A and B are shown apart, each in its own frame.
Chain A
Amino acid sequence: MSVGVFILVSVIKSALILFVLLTAVAYTVWLERKVVGHMQNRWGPTRVGPFGLLQPAADGLKFLFKEDLTPPHVYKPLFIAAPMMAVIFALTSIAVIPFGNSIPIFGYNIPLQITDVNIGLLMILGVTSMGVYGVALAGWSSNNKYSLLGGLRASAQMVSYEIALGLSLVGVLIQSGSFSLRDIVQAQGGRFLMVIPRWNIFHGQFIGFFIYLMAAYAETNRIPFDLPEAETELVAGYHTEYSSMKFAMFFMAEYANMITVACLATLLFFGGWHGPLFGPPLLQAVLPVFWFLAKVFCFLFLYIWVRGTLPRFRYDQLMSFGWKFLLPLAIANLVVTAIVVAW
């Protein structure tokens, strides 16, 4: 593949995936409002379009046309930069997520992924660790005590749970022997006893998955770990002073992070795009992508389900849960996996 074609293909793939991701972000918000609504015996959005399906577009337009207030007491450069940082880092990590095998188009073999680097997983961890800055700087630059407290809570929480999150993934890495997400998925092909798929969750990483799930909820600041936005204590946390599109950018970052985390759970523990293949060749080419998306959808639904079910932790409970329970459990999981694999 020549350089020109490579750049062209990369640009097309990036634009396409970005479009799909942003649409998915908008419709995850719709899904959340709808599902939580039904769980609470309400209807959720119904007015705009059939089943309220055009609600995300209406919300987006509204965000764009709202007055963009900048309070006089903020530190302006960072106040503007913080939501941008949050969105940029949230959207970057999708670049290394593979969502299917490669497909042949015009004689080129195009992998369904923006780029396959052999440090894919580490790159995602690096980008998520940079995501802290958006939240922390938003809280600080707003020059408001609620924002600052929210920002501090969020960053302390993200830094703490990142350790458990990283350690929970090491078990998977030991089993597959690669940082490349494509290789990790490749290693999960096949079945045990002809029936059970050889996914990592059925392959000794059940505890690893549990830790990952808990830590991922905390990383994305979602219920039951949404202390940074605890409205009863902090008004709205780090985005108290933000309005219109800047607020929407934090919202987008949160949902994009949710989607990334769901993709990662699918890839690492649930076999990525592996699933039963059948039918004509065209269907066989599309099915892996369908399985991948279906699994990601299940995780997003789980997110919403948990939100509709659980109350919020207290802050000290959150911290002691992370450091005194999840972290030792993750280390134990790592040691046991290492011993089993070495044996």
Chain B
Amino acid sequence: MSFHLILFLAFGAVCVGGAVNLLAQRHPINSALSLIAVMAALAGEYLLLGAEFVAAVQVIVYAGAIMVLFVFVIMLLNAGEEEETKGSRVAILLGVPGVLTGSVLVAWVVLRHSGTESVAIGALPGHPADIAQLLFHDFLLPFEVTSVLILIAIMGAVVLASKPEATARKVD
């Protein structure tokens, strides 16, 4: 077993362990921190696959920016420990078989259509210049359209978050 593979498996274990811990923890802040661990471990996996840029973006955007907002919300709402429920029957009857079927399907499609040999380091475009070429040259239109989509989402958030005129005046 190469050193590379050992590292890959270690990061994978952290990833899965973090995800399980995320579900098992009862305090929201612990769950959020496990999610950060999952994100960071994913970044490690990308790094091992030679996708350095994606790894950096994963840390900056997910672990650094989005999760900070999660933690903020938990801190500000001062969310306490969850109450334990006995578990819903729908989840057991539909959820568990659904997840099982879904994961089997995904595994089947991946194994069937991708070829099972592992990806060599550097075989896929991972250098920032290659990614820039893809984003700003080959896929420029979809990239720009996505940015418009995100702009619309931001405007939607502003509209939803801002109070209507009348209530705002009453508060004043």
Contact = CB atoms under 8 A, between A and B. Distances in A.
Interface of A: 3, 75, 77-78, 117-119, 122-123, 125-127, 129-130, 132-133, 136-137, 139-140, 148, 151-152, 155, 159, 178-179
Contacts of B72: 136, 152, 155
Given A3-B3, A151-B75, 6 more contacts: A122-B53, A122-B57, A136-B71, A136-B75, A137-B71, A159-B68
Contacts of A159: 65, 68
Given A119-B52, A126-B56, A137-B71, A78 B29 contact: yes
Contacts of B26: none
A280 to B, nearest CB: 40
Contact of A132 (B30, B33, B56, B64): B64
Interface residues of B, number: 23
Contact of A118 (B30, B40, B127): B127
Interface string B114-129: 0000000000000110
Given A136-B72, A137-B71, A130 B64 contact: yes
A129, A152, A155, A178: residue with the most chain B Cβ atoms closer than 10 Å: A129
B36 interface: yes
**SS class, residues of chain A in contact with chain B:** helix
A133 B68 contact: yes
B127 to A, nearest CB: 6
B59 A129 contact: yes
A148 B59 CA distance: 25
B64 A122 contact: no
Interface string B65-95: 1001001100110000000000000000000
B129 to A, nearest CB: 8
A118 B128 contact: yes
27 contacts: A75-B29, A118-B127, A119-B53, A119-B55, A119-B56, A119-B128, A122-B53, A122-B60, A123-B56, A125-B56, A126-B63, A126-B64, A129-B64, A130-B40, A132-B64, A133-B36, A136-B72, A139-B75, A140-B75, A148-B75, A152-B72, A152-B76, A155-B68, A155-B72, A159-B65, A159-B68, A178-B128
